[in-house]
Structure 1
Amino acid sequence: MASPLLLDKKHQARQQFDDKWPGMKPTVVKILKQLGVSTVEWQDLFWDVHKVTLWDEKGVLKIFEALKCVVSEYIKAVKQIIMKENDDSVLLKTYVMEWTKFFAQCPYISKPFKSLESHSAQNNSGKADAVKVTESVSVKKLMLDTWNEIIFSNINHKLQSSAMKLVYEERIGESFDPQLVIGVRESYVNLCYNEADKLRIYCDNFEKAYLEATRHFYISIASQYLDDNGVEKYMDYAHSKIIEEEERALRYLETSKECNSCHLLSEVCVKSLVSDVKVSILEDCPGFIAANQTDKLLKMFHLVDRVANGVEPMITHLEDHVIATGLMEMMDAAATITTDSEKYVERLLMLYRRYSVLVKEAFDDDPRFLTARDKSFKKVINDTTIFNLDLSTNNKSSSKTAPESKCPELLANFCDMLLRKSVFSKKLTSDEIEAKLKEVLLVLKYVDNKDVFMRYHKAHLTRRLILDCSTDSDLEENMVEWLRDVGMPADYINKLARMFQDIKVSEDLNQEFKDINKMRSTMTDNISIKILNAGAWARSSERVAVSLPPTLEDLIPEVEEFYRGKHSGRKLQWIHLMSNGVLTFVSELGKYDIEVTTFQMAVLFAWNERRNDKLSFHDLRLATELPESELRRTLWSLIAFPKLKRQILLCEPAVQSSKELHENSSFCVNHNFAIIKSGKVQKRGKVNFIGRLQLSTEKHREEDNEAIVALRILRIQEGIVRIMKMRKTISNAQLHTELVEILKNMFIPQKKMIKEQIELLIDHKYMKRDENNINKFIYLA
């Protein structure tokens, strides 16, 4: 049986609501209709709601239901006003106006009834569904949901269709009031009260419709415009339309942080205007690159770069162009560049600058295109089509190697031209020489077989230091440091540095020898002895036999005696191959100083006591004791020196190459030898017969090749063992990859050579194959 007190409270709550609502309703209607509400009416509405909410929850719910009826009646009346309009533009205008008024009043209606929500929350504190009850009496949610139910759900598609028509009209150049579309968009955004998914209604409806309308608009005209106007005009059109649509999206789409409508719109435009016609656009790319039309390439790049991986075909076209044109130009100039290292390097640098400018102007120095330039330029430099260097030797123990580019040899030759006293270097200042050396280093970074460059550079450096023909000693030492800076291995660089130290020590020893022996020999002042460390200079142990002039032969014991007094236990080895001197040659026309190698000196001294005699090849071989190959090369340098119009020796019968010299070839001194300048005979002068003559034998060259291959083998073995020691277990593919990464600063190891060294290390128990997988290796400690 219910308590009398409880029954009285229920009756009082019902009476309280019935008494107060008739006075509250007119004020609510005025607020909805934006009519004037007095201060008393406004305050009474707050007070009446508060009184009702003092009682139990049913009183609260009664006010809520009554309020819902009032809002529904108002919205139904608004619906009649909106739906009577047939014109799309007028319909939108009416809807936007009524929605704006309604949404503006939502906060005002909510304020007096705020106590409904707080009262519900208090009564439900501690209950699991407290939040749900609070939401169920939210006045703002009530108003939005009612609008959605009565108007929006019935007019949604018509609103979207009308808004998209207006946007279409704007796209084709017609004018309209943009606030109509903006107002519709705002209604979609604000209709959803759920804070966790506030943009759900907007995304599911307005955004979706806008994106679809945009896609449909451009997909129908893109291909046709391209066919009618060509790629160049289409790129301008597509770019302008994408920018235009992105600007339009900022007006008509939601731009809040939690919304990505603008990004989605951009993707739709890119797909319709670029992706779908990308193949047709890119067909003109090779032609633009070939014609160096950087402005058109830049437009194409910016356009297709909007597509994921869109520039990949452009990168491929650039690589193909660099390789094709680079190799073609090198082949066209092959006759020159294969014999002139200066023209070769200049040609490479010209190509590099051209492609760098192309990448800068056409692709904004984009890292992907810079990488493509480097990759393709590297192929041009390391190509073996025009000329190649064969490191294979007759040594059966050496691994057979594939031909390599001769580029490093030509680069080393060019460096030698710059660093050696020559006609070329004399035309340049120190700053110009330094700039050109750094350009060589730029090219060198693309060379695969850098170890070959180091071998040739060291050989040239050896000659310059021994012949005292360096342009600038500071530049020589700077070059060593620059090589260190570009990543050359420390052991190579340290040996070069030790060569300079040896020369300085040798100068001190030479001066001391002169001071001690000046009283004993008149030749002492005219002799410069270089005592060098074999470990740093790394010359072959081969000694070429030669019969020296008596004056030099008599000096050798004196030098050896002096050195033994300074360093006991050390052995001197005379390398006549690397020696040189100056002779005074007197002809019937003048007196000339000639710089010659020791071998040339030995040949010329054969006529010292018999100037008018003719000597055969056989006679000279007996007199000089030179090997036949060296004698042929030395004689050829004296009978066919390219810079002289009159040769110092004459040969009968005349020959066209050193290979035509035979046992019965006859040689004599040319008594009419002279230096001719501007058609006039000079009575005095100086001639350098050493020139570009290599200070090495054919056997030395073979030994150098063997040394390069042998060192590569050791480097590969060292790298494999280091990787295996660190990894313990590794696949064959990964081992190859890591090994190339370790060795790439000096050379790119060939797969065949790697395979051979793996087998060798397996045989020597450094590693083994996995029993279950032959492509996996295991380190053996």
Structure 2
Amino acid sequence: MASSNMLKDKNQLVFEDKWDNMRPTVLKLLRQEPVTRAEWQDLFWDVHSVCLWDDKGPGKVHKALQSDILDFINQAQGRVMSHQDDSALLKSYIIEWRKFFTQCSYLPKPFGQLEVSLSGKTISTSQRKNQAEDSEVRKLMLDSWNSSIFSSIKKRLQDSAMKLVHAERNGEAFDAQLVIGVRESYVNLCSNAEDKLQIYRDNFEKAYLDATESFYRAQAPSYLADNGVQNYMKYADAKLKEEEQRAQRYLETRKGCNSVQALTECCVHVLVTAFKETILAECAVMIKTNETERLRLMFSLMDRVPDGISPMLKDLEDHIIEAGLADMVAAAEIITTDSEKYVEQLLVLFNKFSSLVKDAFNDDPRFLTSRDKAYKHVVNDTKVFKLELPTKQKGVGSKTQPESKCPELLANYCDMLLRKTPLSKKLTSDEIEFKLRNVLLVLKYVQNKDVFMRFHKAHLTRRLILDTSADSEKEENMVEWLREVGMPADYVNKLARMFQDVKVSEDLNQQFKEAYRNNEHSAIADSINIKILNAGAWARSSERIPVSLPVELEDYIPEVEEFYRKNHSGRKLQWHHLMSNGIITFKNKVGIYDLEVTTFQMAVLFAWNQRQYEKITFENLRLATELPDTELRRTLWSLIQFPKMKRQVVICKPEVKSPKEFNDGTLFWVNQDFGVVKNSKLQKRGKINLIGRLQLSTERSSDEDKEGIVQLRILRTQEAIVKIMKMRKKITNAQLQTELVEILKNMFLPSKKMIKEQIEWLIEHKYMKRDEDNINMFIYIA
């Protein structure tokens, strides 16, 4: 027993002796006093020795080290707490903290063996690099500082720092490093390896956010009340930017820390979200008065607020619809009669609204979408003028549904640009292309593009038949541009086929003329052009109108048919005189004139060929021409009331105000005083175009045209439904409607009623059926 006590005493003396040698160096390190290389190396060796003596050595070193660290911290606390002034207290604390924290990196290094002994693990070379940062000694130092000095004065530190930030917000000067120093101590104090920012986040960040919110909650309402919404927006925007910059200085910005974002959200909530309704109440007026700068500011503020943009989008849409329709209605008198003015008006509106979106909302996609949605409403509106389409199939009823006349007017405008007109003649090729591109821009917003297609094709047919295209290259380019903007391929392909037919016809004409050069009809063969056109690409109506042609033409027809049969066996020719035209020479006592006429006009005028001075009744003209009553009336009216003529070709008695007033006894005769008047002078020679707009349809078939649009829509809808059903096999009603609209949207927007009717028709005709267990589920029948 005696020898054992002696050994214990010896070990006790040995540790105390060793610690007395180690302690001066430890204290020097704590105080940031110079340490010699020998002292530094001795400390490493002494710690190593003591920790390896026995199991109790590491614990004694740890306890002694903790005691000295606490003594040092208590002394530092005394120096800090001696200051009553907040600013002086902060300065003193930051000086003490920075010195202490610096030593947190150095002091643990000599105690590496202590780490190993306490943990019982060997530390690798790579781990030694991070040893100081994660070491037990560093943890001991930080925890000791936290539990003593920091815990006792952290509220004062925090409050003092927040007072300084408050002073800065009020424009007072101070040392920013004081706040930064406090923040650093909060950030670096936590020894929790899992969350090293815990102390900072739970204390400093929270206090900073609370102080910011309190400051602006007190200031913002009064500023808004005193200065109004427009000045308040500038104030809020400036404060948000100011606080974001301040947060970059005073809050932690390391990766993974979202303090700046949290602060921004806090400021947005108290400065913008709290006054969202008041600010947005000004939006509609600003849009109406085109206050783009203020709208841009409102947009930047509201874009930070959840769902802040939605009311602005609604205000923009309402404005575009209201202002757009008001402008169209105001200009209705001009634009309803002039397709050029109509299209230009639409483009002016589009450019005006586009400028507003660009200047006020920086072309933000959400606002561009709203512009498109509202502009589409304007383009497809039926207030100014409308196209009446029958809603039911032929023979069932005459109810009509109104649609915008926009697609028809766009087609008319394209015709003016592509045809030889005063408009196309005064424009350069580039200007025509620019205007056509503008038409395509508007066409993108047209809901029922199938109407545009129908009228555009009719105009193209006239231009190609009458050879009145201003630029054949532009014509073909236009077809490709239509393809680029998403027009249905089958429609575009038919237009392209029309150009091919015209080129093929030119070759056929040449061959025919060469074949009949030595024939008795060679003279007429040279003066006639035939156009052999493919019915699938060109046909608008199956209707063929009877007419008695002049003998010269009548004799010529069998020879053309014979020639064609020799070259193309098995193909059937059908003559469409409705689409034909020619030039006749008119001679009277005034002079000689070339008249460009339709075949029907030619047939009527040839009734006087052998009896030029006679008066012929309406009934006899009907017998001579064999034209249907309606067509004869329309043709005669074009000869007695041609708008551009000062002297008409034909005169009638009694005078009438419309072709409907003609009766069987109405007399008609050739005007022997007919002549061409230019600049108030009567010309002895001249050329007059009496064709005007070549009629491609009769009055009866004009209604058929509209019916045809509806019928084609029905077929397209049926085709699309079958296509979807074939692919899906089984589909819900809602999904079918969605997919159907997606397929047809480039042509027209099918109404729910039409979709329902065609689904019922397809069920009735066994293309599909309803699921027996679910009435809203459809199944394809193969």
- TM bucket (normalised to shorter chain) is over 0.9
The corresponding residue for 2:79 is 81
Deviates more, 1:532-541 or 1:460-469: 532-541
Query: C-alpha deviations, 1:256-280, integer Å up to 9, x for none?
Result: 0010111111111111221111222
Question: Residue 520 of structure 1 aligns with which residue?
Answer: 520
Residue 110 of structure 2 is matched in structure 1 by 112
CA RMSD between the two structures: 2.4
> How far apart are the structure 1 equivalents of 2:572 and 2:708?
24
Conserved? CA contact 1:57–1:120, under 8 Å: no
CA contact (8 A) 1:617 1:662 kept: yes
Matched residues in 2 for 1:568 and 1:40: separation?
117
Tell me if structure 1 keeps the 8 A contact 2:615–2:669.
Answer: yes
Q: What corresponds to 1:734 in structure 2? A: 735
Aligned counterpart, 2:456: 457
Whether the 8 Å CA contact 1:117–1:134 is kept in 2: the answer is: no
* Corresponding position: 1:282 with 2:280: yes
**Displacement, 1:179?**
0.5
Q: Deviations over 1:710-749 (max 9, x none)?
A: 2222222222222223323322111111111111111111
The amino acid that maps onto 1:682 is Q
Q: Match of 1:595, SS?
A: strand
2:127 is matched with which residue?
Answer: none
Counterpart for residue 751 of structure 1: 752
Following superposition, the deviation at residue 568 of structure 1 comes to: 3.1
Q: What does residue 213 of structure 2 align with? A: 215
1:770 is aligned to: 771
| Gaps in structure 2 of 5+ consecutive residues | 124-130
Q: Deviations over 1:461-514 (max 9, x none)?
A: 111111111111111111111111211222112211211111122122222222
How far, CA to CA, are the matches of 1:708 and 1:603 in structure 2?
A: 33
Q: Distance in 1 between matches of 2:690 and 2:379?
A: 33
In 2, are the aligned partners of 1:148 and 1:191 still within 8 Å (CA)? yes
CA distance in 2, matches of 1:754, 1:353: 36
Q: Which secondary structure state, in structure 2, belongs to the residue aligned with residue 774 of structure 1?
A: coil
Q: 1:627 to 1:247 in 2, by over 3 A?
A: same
Aligned to 1:534: 535
- Segment of structure 1 superposing worse, 668-677 or 497-506: 668-677
What is the SS of the residue equivalent to 1:626? coil
Residue 308 (structure 2) aligns with? 310
Secondary structure of the residue aligned to 1:262 is helix
Residues 641-656 of structure 1 correspond to what in structure 2 (within 5 A)? 641-656=642-657
TM superposition shift of 1:377:
1.0
2:193 maps to 1:195 = yes
d(CA) in 1 for partners of 2:759 and 2:6? 101
Residues 106, 132 of structure 2: 8 Å contact kept: no
Distance 1:671 1:166, change over 3 A: same
**Other structure's SS at 2:168 match:** helix
Q: In 1, are the aligned partners of 2:578 and 2:695 still within 8 Å (CA)?
A: no
User: Which residue number corresponds to residue 126 of structure 2?
Assistant: none
Cα deviation, residue 95, structure 1: 1.2
Contact 2:108 2:135 in 1 (8 A): no
TM-superposed CA distance for 1:664, in Å, is 3.8
SS of the equivalent of 1:389 reads strand
CA distance in 2, matches of 1:678, 1:3: 148
Please point out which of 384, 387, 395 is paired with 2:385.
387
Secondary structure of the 2:594 match is strand
C-alpha distance in 1 between matches for 2:393 and 2:35? 111
Counterpart in the other structure of 1:580: 581
**Pair 1:161–1:140, CA change in 2 (3 A):** same
* Aligned equivalents of 2:452, 2:407: Cα separation in 1: 4
Hey, what's the Cα distance between the residues in 1 that align with 2:500 and 2:734? 44
Which of 253, 258, 261 is the equivalent residue of 1:260? Answer: 258
Structure 1 unaligned spans of 5+? 126-132
> Mean alpha-carbon deviation: is it higher for 744-753 or for 700-709?
700-709
Distance 2:424 2:120 in 1: 97
- Between 407-416 and 307-316, report the one with greater CA deviation: 307-316
- Tell me by how many angstroms 1:236 deviates: 1.8
2:596 aligned counterpart, secondary structure: strand
TM-score (norm 1): 0.94
SS at match of 2:53: coil
AA matched with 2:153:
I
Q: Which residue, 176, 180, 183 being the options, matches 1:182?
A: 180
Match of 1:665 in 2: 666
1:755 shift after superposition: 0.7
Deviation at 1:709, TM superposition (A): 2.2
Letter in 1 for 2:64: A
Equivalent residue for 1:29? 27
Aligned to 1:95: 93
Taking the TM superposition and a 5 Å limit, the aligned residue runs for 1:359-758 are: 359-392=357-390, 395-396=394-395, 402-518=401-517, 519-521=519-521, 522-758=523-759
Distance 1:553 1:717 in 2: 44
Aligned equivalents of 2:232, 2:411: Cα separation in 1: 50
Contact 2:105 2:133 in 1 (8 A): no
Query: Which whole-Å CA distance do the structure 2 matches of 1:260 and 1:214 have between them?
Result: 16
What corresponds to 2:332 in structure 1?
334
Alpha-carbon distance in 2 for matches of 1:221, 1:634: 82
Q: Which moved more, 1:177-186 or 1:22-31?
A: 22-31
User: 1:22-73: per-residue Cα shift (whole Å, max 9, x none)?
Assistant: 2322332232223343444333322221211012332111111111111112
What is the alpha-carbon distance in structure 1 between the residues aligned to residue 698 and residue 487 of structure 2?
A: 27
SS of the residue 1:773 aligns to? coil
Amino acid at match of 1:324: E
Residue-by-residue CA offset, 1:186-231 (whole Å, 9 max, x unaligned): 0000000223200000001101111111111112222222222222
Count of aligned positions = 772
Contact 1:13 1:52 (C-alpha < 8 Å) held by counterparts: no
Per-residue deviation, 1:421: 1.4
Normalised by the size of structure 2, how large is the TM-score?
A: 0.94
Q: Which segment drifts farther, 691-700 or 654-663?
A: 654-663
Please, which moves more after superposition, 582-591 or 484-493?
582-591
Q: Which region of structure 1 is more displaced relative to structure 2, 669-678 or 633-642?
A: 669-678
CA shift at 1:617, angstroms? Answer: 2.6
Give the corresponding residue for 1:49: 47
CA contact (8 A) 2:105 2:132 kept: no
Post-superposition offset of 1:400 = 6.8
With over 3 angstroms needed to count, the CA separation of the structure-2 counterparts of 1:561 and 1:765, relative to structure 1, is closer
Question: Judging changes above 3 Å, is the alpha-carbon distance between structure 1 residues 667 and 11 closer, same or farther for their aligned structure 2 residues?
Answer: farther
**Compared CA separation, residues 487 and 117, structure 1 to 2 (3 A):** same
Q: Is the 8 A contact 1:120 1:134 kept in 2?
A: no
CA distance in 2, matches of 1:146, 1:400: 91
Q: Counterparts of 1:294 and 1:3 in 2: how far apart (Å)? A: 99
Aligned to 1:130: none
Cα offsets for 1:646-703 (capped at 9, x unmatched): 2222233333333333334333322222222222222221111111242211233233
Q: 1:571 to 1:107 in 2, by over 3 A?
A: closer
1:429 CA drift (Å): 2.1
607-616 or 174-183, which deviates more: 607-616
Amino acid of the structure 1 residue aligned with 2:594: D
1:66 to 49, 52, 64: 64
Paired letter, 1:520: E
Q: In structure 2, give the amino acid aligned to 1:479.
A: M
Shift of 1:86: 2.2
Task: Please show how residues 154-173 of structure 1 align to structure 2 within 5 Å.
Answer: 154-173=152-171
CA distance in 2, matches of 1:407, 1:176: 68
Give the letter aligned to residue 26 of structure 1: P
The one-letter code of the counterpart of 1:491 is D
Contact 1:398 1:709 in 2 (8 A): no
Q: Does the CA contact (< 8 Å) of 1:116 and 1:137 recur in 2?
A: no
Contact persistence 2:653–2:666 (CA under 8 A) = yes
Cα drift, residue 359 of structure 1: 1.2
Secondary structure at 1:507 match in 2: helix
3-state SS of paired residue (2:194): helix
CA 561–164 in structure 1, closer or farther in 2 if over 3 Å, else same: same
Alignment-mate amino acid for residue 470 of structure 2: T
- Equivalent position SS for 2:73: helix
In the TM superposition, residue 578 of structure 1 has moved relative to its aligned partner by 0.7
Amino acid at match of 2:550: P
Residue 54 of structure 1 aligns to a residue whose secondary structure is helix
User: 2:768 corresponds to which letter in structure 1?
Assistant: M
Say if 1:514 and 1:356 are closer, same or farther in 2 by CA, change over 3 A.
same
Residues 92 and 180, structure 1, Cα contact 8 Å, conserved in 2: yes
